[in-house]
Chains A and B, each alone.
Chain A
């Protein structure tokens, strides 16, 4: 079988009858068997179930039944989305052996469209991290270079797509957890405006920031998945009924750039690639304007205060009483303490303690309310910026994928890797990351496009133009049999 290059091509082959869902699934399972021992992208695999669903879809297609928009496409799901059929652990010992009694809305929606869930993808424990090294199970390696991380926290999802374990994965982004792994693994992703994709069934890290999104090989795949995944969900309080704004022409579009932020980038190939993208956009008739996000310098502490406060509160439910891990003790509070002490990893404990400290009566006004006010200032900066431009671009990350164990001992360095992605999360703006070539070592680089609320379609159109010139799909490990 000649493997389709992206999801759309796979769908065309399925429809043309040159390929079956069973072949797609077998191909993905073959890659998983061959490579995942080393890459470690997955936490749970449902080979039999996937094969069976593929057979069913092939039969339906043969008998001429109407099929869903993703019929026969294998995919993976970050393991912080709950699924009835497969274990859900959020890569934490705390949820070892946990079987959720319900499935995330997005999982149901995708399966209803005929997509075939292969398994659950690795992540930093409860999505707390930027390298997928903080998974309680095992780290994930980058298929482009196995000595490097795939990014995080959606690193298992990104590695799975890059390695060809299916054609897309759904992950989540709190401060960059989709965009940074997309950049590190040469993929495309969208962190949508709040409410575009349902969050029902996404295990919360920080609900005021968490957003689900797909990781894909091509921009057109991302466009299709955005269309399939969006829509109002009555089970999610923040789900929006609003339609996305229609895509605008690049001709005449005002594209902002952040000069001072760019100066922080030390990796020269990233600055060069960024400038090359601007040239491409100019050639399409876009006007490049300089903009400012004056409060971007306080985004990092603001983000960490909000995440810590929300996560400290949200993680309180894991206590051994109702589900998940329990360390037996004679007395209730001893049991809870022992369960939490043994169930949570270092980073989770660090954030719980940090958050609990911020939420203390004497601190909450200064730190938590203070962070909320700072967030409002950042949002206003964005509103002002979008008076001057229609969208703006930044490198997605300041460096390409770094080596494993490189930053593990320095949480602050790890936190800094989200520098470019945090502000859009705090402001609740949609953001796309798409590849912009590779550096001298052949490591993929990503560019981020940030727009005003509900302008996803325009961001995707601009991303397609960038892909046309700077895309690296043909270099993707998935398309180069010898992965990594």
Chain B
């Protein structure tokens, strides 16, 4: 039986984080009342004139730099024509040849092995309006033009992906880079990060590509994987049963767990592309590129490497602390504020992961933390100075979150400060040993578990303020000695 190899390429439409649309001053804020973010230009009214939002070009250059792509210095907008009410002018201002961003690549790790996935191009274009079908009791389709004219960057990969898993990894990686670069909020549900997949299969060893199917409407990572897996299996089944594949567009239907045919490719639709006669060309000089480079934040791979090498994190911890740019910045702020080395870095990371992240709220590119980095630095500095121990620090932390008070104020209020000095602690240890002769007997008789009992007694006697490590050391000295 023939063995097949999937060939997958992805097209991502990422909405660029500008304040206004690509060719006018209308807001791009999500969730406004339908048809309230409009002007003559984004409605294509007679007499309107589009004018380019330079910010979108800057963000596109930033993406080009982040993906190590070629940046084309002199490109233009082209009109792509098709009649449909989601385009106010019945053409879309997009880019044909050349696009603003050319070839580059993106590295993903598949089962511990690095794979380089080619980026073909990325181009600027305006988004279409949103058609809402079934209004008026199912009789009408209505159009919300708020989305029309919002800036998109369409990023096209080479057909280098060989499995649904690789496709998902590529998408996650791309999304992460765009989010860290500050150009996109990566929201699949709200449609600010959308993906279409081109999927075909071919016999292993064959060079020529098979018949390609375009998958649309895959608006979650889980769907991407399931849709592509389903599609590969479907195509294999068609070929195995002696059938032939048709070039078509299919959509993922989550309810039935299948891809459904939307339309067969008409004899190659002619979009009558031609350079916009009313938009000036996009000219990019060295200064713009250098400015974009200066504005390009550190990317997640570099951040993770730095967290591991300089701040003592495990790859797992580094992954958690770079799961969102806000979290990475938070950790960085605390670590640099405490001038952390590898050992301290690890302790800070532990505290953030076990305590802070539990109360952190993420929404798009925003992350809301329960306490500021400065407040956390104050608290953790007390632990480092042995003013309080880690257990107490956790209690103080929750008090800080609940009351909004500073760590110092809480420690002062509860009389926790000062800790317990070693001589006083040793006296407590001896007192506990003296008071519990039978447990001492058991312990010395080989029942190691009783050790915990002694630690607990000492901690209680010191109202939790003693350093648990020192308590253990002193107990060992007197019990074992």
**Interface set of A (CB-CB < 8 Å, partner B):** 81-82, 88, 90, 95, 98, 100-102, 104, 199-204, 206-208, 234-238, 306, 309-310, 312-314, 316-317, 319, 321-323, 332-333, 336, 356, 359-361, 364, 368, 372
Interface string of B20-47 (1 = CB under 8 A from A): 0000000000000000000010011111
Cross-chain pair count, CB within 8 angstroms = 99
Interfacial chain A residues near B260, Cβ < 8 Å: none
State which of B80-88, B106-114, B219-227, B371-379 sits at the interface with chain A.
B80-88
Q: Are B273 and A364 in contact (CB under 8 A)?
A: yes
In the complex, how many angstroms separate the beta carbon of A106 from the nearest chain B beta carbon? 11
Interfacial chain B residues near A360, Cβ < 8 Å: 270, 272
Q: Are B274 and A368 in contact (CB under 8 A)?
A: yes
Q: Are A90 and B46 in contact (CB under 8 A)?
A: yes
Interfacial chain A residues near B49, Cβ < 8 Å: 199-200, 207, 235-237
Known contacts A100-B46, A313-B91, A323-B45; is-contact A359 B278 (Cβ 8 Å): no
Partner of A364, one of B40, B46, B274, B280: B274
In the complex, how many angstroms separate the beta carbon of A436 from the nearest chain B beta carbon? 34
Bound CA span A82–B45, Å: 10
- Chain B: number of interface residues, binned into ranges: 20 to 34
B277 at the interface (CB under 8 A from A): yes
Known contacts A333-B83, A336-B83, A364-B272; is-contact A238 B280 (Cβ 8 Å): yes
Partner of B278, one of A237, A321, A356, A361: A237
In the complex, how many angstroms separate the beta carbon of A132 from the nearest chain B beta carbon? 19
The dominant DSSP class at the A interface is loop
Residue of B51, B79, B85, B278 contacting most chain A CB atoms (<10 Å): B278
Interfacial chain A residues near B143, Cβ < 8 Å: 321
Interfacial chain B residues near A235, Cβ < 8 Å: 49, 51
What are 24 inter-chain pairs, A to B, with CB distance below 8 A?
A: A82-B45, A88-B47, A95-B46, A199-B49, A200-B48, A200-B49, A201-B47, A203-B46, A203-B47, A204-B46, A204-B47, A207-B277, A208-B278, A236-B49, A236-B51, A237-B50, A313-B272, A316-B89, A319-B90, A322-B88, A359-B81, A360-B270, A360-B272, A364-B274
Q: Are A237 and B280 in contact (CB under 8 A)?
A: yes
In the complex, how many angstroms separate the beta carbon of A360 from the nearest chain B beta carbon? 6
Interfacial chain A residues near B45, Cβ < 8 Å: 82, 100-102, 323
Interfacial chain B residues near A100, Cβ < 8 Å: 40, 45-47
Given contacts A322-B43, A360-B270, 5 further A-B contacts (CB under 8 A): A81-B47, A202-B47, A235-B51, A236-B51, A313-B79
Q: Are A361 and B272 in contact (CB under 8 A)?
A: yes
Partner of B274, one of A104, A200, A317, A359: A359
User: Which residues B261-282 have CB closer than 8 A to chain A?
Assistant: 270, 272-275, 277-280
Q: Which residue of B lies closest to A234 (CB)?
A: B51
In the complex, how many angstroms separate the beta carbon of A278 from the nearest chain B beta carbon? 37
Q: Are B277 and A206 in contact (CB under 8 A)?
A: yes
B320 at the interface (CB under 8 A from A): no
Q: Are A356 and B279 in contact (CB under 8 A)?
A: no
The 5 closest A-B pairs by CB, nearest first: A316-B90, A207-B278, A359-B272, A82-B47, A208-B277
Interfacial chain A residues near B357, Cβ < 8 Å: none
Interface string of B278-321 (1 = CB under 8 A from A): 11100000000000000000000000000000000000000000
Partner of B85, one of A234, A237, A332, A364: A332
Q: Are A200 and B90 in contact (CB under 8 A)?
A: no
Known contacts A236-B51, A336-B83, A360-B272; is-contact A317 B44 (Cβ 8 Å): yes
Interfacial chain B residues near A333, Cβ < 8 Å: 83
Known contacts A237-B52, A317-B88, A317-B89; is-contact A88 B46 (Cβ 8 Å): yes
Q: Which residue of A lies closest to B50 (CB)?
A: A237
Interfacial chain B residues near A356, Cβ < 8 Å: 272
User: Which residues B64-97 have CB closer than 8 A to chain A?
Assistant: 79, 81, 83, 85, 88-91
Interfacial chain B residues near A88, Cβ < 8 Å: 46-47
In the complex, how many angstroms separate the beta carbon of A125 from the nearest chain B beta carbon? 13
Q: Are A313 and B81 in contact (CB under 8 A)?
A: yes
Interfacial chain A residues near B48, Cβ < 8 Å: 200
User: Which residues B132-174 have CB closer than 8 A to chain A?
Assistant: 141, 143
In the complex, how many angstroms separate the beta carbon of B41 from the nearest chain A beta carbon? 8
Q: Are A317 and B272 in contact (CB under 8 A)?
A: no
Interfacial chain B residues near A313, Cβ < 8 Å: 79, 81, 91, 272, 274, 277
Q: Which residue of B lies closest to A237 (CB)?
A: B51
Bound CA span A360–B81, Å: 11
Interfacial chain A residues near B275, Cβ < 8 Å: 372
Bound CA span A90–B89, Å: 17
Q: Are B280 and A361 in contact (CB under 8 A)?
A: no
In the complex, how many angstroms separate the beta carbon of A95 from the nearest chain B beta carbon? 7
Interfacial chain A residues near B47, Cβ < 8 Å: 81-82, 88, 100, 102, 104, 200-204
Bound CA span A322–B45, Å: 9
Q: Are B40 and A102 in contact (CB under 8 A)?
A: yes
Q: Which residue of B lies closest to A203 (CB)?
A: B46
Known contacts A100-B47, A204-B278; is-contact A319 B83 (Cβ 8 Å): yes
Interfacial chain A residues near B46, Cβ < 8 Å: 82, 88, 90, 95, 98, 100, 203-204, 317
Interfacial chain B residues near A323, Cβ < 8 Å: 45
Bound CA span A54–B51, Å: 36
Interfacial chain B residues near A207, Cβ < 8 Å: 49, 277-278
In the complex, how many angstroms separate the beta carbon of A326 from the nearest chain B beta carbon? 12
Bound CA span A402–B278, Å: 34
Q: Which residue of B lies closest to A312 (CB)?
A: B272
Bound CA span A95–B45, Å: 11
Bound CA span A336–B83, Å: 9
Interfacial chain A residues near B52, Cβ < 8 Å: 237
Interface string of B359-391 (1 = CB under 8 A from A): 000000000000000000000000000000000
Bound CA span A377–B118, Å: 40
Interfacial chain A residues near B85, Cβ < 8 Å: 319, 321-322, 332
Bound CA span A134–B133, Å: 40
Q: Are A361 and B270 in contact (CB under 8 A)?
A: yes
Interfacial chain B residues near A364, Cβ < 8 Å: 272-274
Interfacial chain A residues near B273, Cβ < 8 Å: 359, 361, 364
Bound CA span A236–B47, Å: 11
Bound CA span A81–B48, Å: 10
In the complex, how many angstroms separate the beta carbon of B339 from the nearest chain A beta carbon? 49
In the complex, how many angstroms separate the beta carbon of B384 from the nearest chain A beta carbon? 56
In the complex, how many angstroms separate the beta carbon of A210 from the nearest chain B beta carbon? 9
Bound CA span A314–B93, Å: 12
Q: Which residue of B lies closest to A199 (CB)?
A: B49
Residue of A207, A208, A237 contacting most chain B CB atoms (<10 Å): A237
Bound CA span A471–B86, Å: 54
In the complex, how many angstroms separate the beta carbon of B272 from the nearest chain A beta carbon? 4
Bound CA span A237–B22, Å: 13
Bound CA span A268–B47, Å: 41
In the complex, how many angstroms separate the beta carbon of B134 from the nearest chain A beta carbon? 15
Interface string of B164-188 (1 = CB under 8 A from A): 0000000000000000000000000
Bound CA span A414–B129, Å: 41
Q: Are A310 and B51 in contact (CB under 8 A)?
A: no
Interfacial chain B residues near A368, Cβ < 8 Å: 274
Interface string of B453-480 (1 = CB under 8 A from A): 0000000000000000000000000000
Bound CA span A360–B143, Å: 29
Bound CA span A90–B91, Å: 21
Bound CA span A124–B137, Å: 44
Residue of A81, A101, A317 contacting most chain B CB atoms (<10 Å): A317
Interfacial chain A residues near B79, Cβ < 8 Å: 313
Q: Are B51 and A316 in contact (CB under 8 A)?
A: no
Q: Which residue of B lies closest to A307 (CB)?
A: B277
